[in-house]
Amino acid sequence: QAKAAGKNSIKQFDVSMQVKASERTRLESELREAINRQQLQLYYQGLHDAAGQLLGAEVLLRWFHPELGNVSPARFIPIAEESGLIFEIGSWVIEQACQQLSRWQAQQLVPGLKLSINISARQFHQDNFLPKVMHILDRYSVARDRLQFELTESILVSRVDEVISKMQALKQYGIAFALDDFGTGYSSLSYLKRLPLEQLKIDRSFVADILHDPNDAAIASTVIALSAALGLGVIAEGVETAAQRDALAALGCYHYQGFYFSRPVPGGDFVALHRHTVTH
Ligand code: C2E
Ligand code: MG
Ligand code: MG
Ligand code: MG
């Protein structure tokens, strides 16, 4: 009986693995067409100080599929990375974001706004990443100090010296760097001081329960102390309530991103949403 049940559950496991694999294959081939079919769109979410004023915006990719609906980037970005589609998609994101920024500049909307763009490890590792970025910036005449790139700790798994010199080169052009989802990866602290970083982003998994889980509060507190010790800025992700903001402020973190402050919205709505909050 138990043996039969065991066998059965192995079979079911196989079947569900197959379903997952074929779903993945489907997503990959549909993602391949997504740019041409105009299913990709950029959303922008405000980055705020304690008074709610706007410091910048993070660029967040959205995929609206006619049948599957809104597919989460948490689901399709890993597929794009593994398949190599991230090169084309990643360039598209930088290009669209720069186009939006140059339009806002020309219309003198949200003046001085900085955009923070997520760059995947594989995309950053690509040989021609630097000239590609420079080409896009020139094309839209975007001031280089208007951009920040968000990298995750996974960038530090291999070829660290190469990563550091590439970051330094981009920094010389005026581009800033943040380390995203900080605390979820496995970066060695000795690398951290060698990276030309502007700020650490506290992952939202530590913010979610900060009021009730002492471990999460301790990790947030440690990241905040670490960034101060290294002379870096720090911003908390996923702030959904005033109480979370206050808890973070009590620990010394005064920059925030999250639904409590503002949600990600399309570029067209971003200006209307933030018309009265822009000062920086
Ligand atoms: P991330 O870079 O850590 O982005 C922050 C995520 O937190 C976004 O999820 C955002 O919508 C979400 N978020 C912001 N505030 C709140 C909040 O108060 N509560 C909750 N529950 N969530 C909040 P999103 O847009 O689904 O993106 C997920 C991840 O996908 C991003 O995490 C990033 O790693 C990746 N991603 C998104 N766009 C791009 C892109 O253009 N390129 C690359 N390489 N990755 C991207
Ligand atoms: Mg990010
Ligand atoms: Mg993040
Ligand atoms: Mg995160």
- Sequential pLDDT tens for the chain (280 residues): 445 555 566 666 677 777 788 888 999 999 999 988 999 999 999 999 999 999 999 999 999 999 999 999 999 999 999 999 999 999 999 999 999 999 998 888 888 899 999 999 999 999 999 999 999 999 999 988 999 999 999 998 889 999 999 999 999 999 999 999 998 887 778 888 899 999 999 999 999 999 999 999 999 999 999 999 999 999 999 999 999 999 999 999 999 999 999 999 999 999 999 876 655 4
Atom of ligand 1 minimally distant from the CA of 264: 11
Q: For residues 20 and 69, what is the distance between their CA atoms, to the nearest angstrom?
A: 18
SS3 39: coil
The pair of three-digit structure tokens given for residue 270, joined into one six-digit string? 């971003």
Residues in the ligand 1 pocket, defined by CB under 6 Å: 45, 60-61, 72-74, 77, 93, 118-120, 150, 180-181, 204, 237-240, 257-259, 264
Residue 4's CB is within 10 A of a number of other CB atoms, namely 8
Q: How far is the CA of 112 from the centre of ligand 4 (A)?
A: 25
| Global pTM value | 0.93
SS3 30: helix
To the nearest 10 degrees (0 to 180), the angle between helices 73-83 and 86-106 is: 120
Atom of ligand 1 minimally distant from the CA of 72: 26
Q: How far is the CA of 46 from the centre of ligand 4 (A)?
A: 15
| DSSP assignment string, 209-242 | TTTT-HHHHHHHHHHHHHHHHTT-EEEES---SH
Give the closest ligand to the alpha carbon of residue 207. 1
DSSP 8-state secondary structure symbol assigned to residue 198: S
174 Rama sector, left if φ>0, alpha if ψ -120 to 50, beta otherwise: left
